[in-house]
Amino acid sequence: MTLVQKARLKSLWVVHFDCGGCNGCDIEVLAALTPKFDVERFGIVNIGDPKQADIMVLTGPVNHKNKRVLRDLYEEVPDPKMVIAVGTCACTGGIFHNCPNILGGVNKVVPVDVYVPGCAARPEQIIDGVVLAMKKLAGEAPEEDE
């Protein structure tokens, strides 16, 4: 494992995008940053800037209005990157499925690496999902394979 790969395991910057859920999952994502869970001790920071992010945390179902925004945001995150769908809405559409304005889960628009189901997903589950994505990120980095 190279130095950069090791650093990747210790420093993850997150960009969090709410596609239009009920905000329940967003509150849980933010709860992971609070003193009780404090994800910063693993180097995970909610950076808010797609150009510097490693992981996209998506909540809520995609609708016709914001699918273009989501696509743009996904393309702005530089490689290597991971996408996590947090909450049942983001995974499948959840309670919003079959609504006329809803496309379904976020995987209708961007490729998803980790699914964290739950309505709302618990902070422990979200951290678990991020750790899973982190491992995938460090393992799959193609340019540093030995």
Partner 1 sequence: MALATPLIGGLLMGVDRKLTARMQERVGPPLAQPFYDALKLWGKTVMIDSSLQPALAFGYLGFALVAAGLVTFRQNLLLVLFVTGMADICLTVAAFDAKSPYSYLSGRREFLAMLSYEPVMLLAYTAIFMVTGSFTIRGIYEYGAPLLLVLPAALVALEIVLVIEMKKSPFDVSGHAHQELVRGVFTEFSGYTMALIELGRWTKLATTMMILSLFWAPSPVIGGAISLVMFFVVLMVDNLYPRLTWQRMLRTTWAVGFALILLNVAALAVGGVIL
Instruction: List contacts with partner 1 (CB under 8 A).
Output: 3-8, 10-11, 13, 35, 38, 40-43, 47-49, 51-52, 54, 76, 78-80, 141, 144
131, interface contact from partner 1, ligand SF4, none, CB < 5-8 Å by kind: none
Q: Given candidates 119, 127, 132, 141, which one binds ligand SF4 under the rule CB under 6 A?
A: 119
* Nearer of residues 24 and 43 to partner 1, judged by Cβ: 43
Q: How far apart are the first and last CA of the chain?
A: 8
Site string for ligand SF4, 72-111 (x = CB under 6 A): ---------------xxx----xx----------------
Distance, CA of 48 to CA of 87 (rounded, Å): 19
* Nearer of residues 22 and 45 to partner 1, judged by Cβ: 45
Packing angle of the helix pair 123-140, 24-31 (nearest 10 deg): 70
Considering only residues 6 to 45 of the shown chain, the ones binding ligand SF4 according to CB under 6 A are 21-22, 24-25
**Short-list 98, 94, 80, CA closest to 141:** 80
Q: In the numeric block, which tokens belong to residue 44? A: 């995970």
Concatenated DSSP letters for 65-126?
TTHHHHHHHHHHSPSS-EEEEESHHHHH-GGGTT-TTEEESGGGTS--SEEE--TTPPHHHH
Residues 47 and 14: beta-carbon distance below 8 Å: yes
38, interface contact from partner 1, ligand SF4, none, CB < 5-8 Å by kind: partner 1
- Interface contacts to ligand SF4, rule CB under 6 A: 21-22, 24-25, 59-60, 87-89, 94-95, 119-120
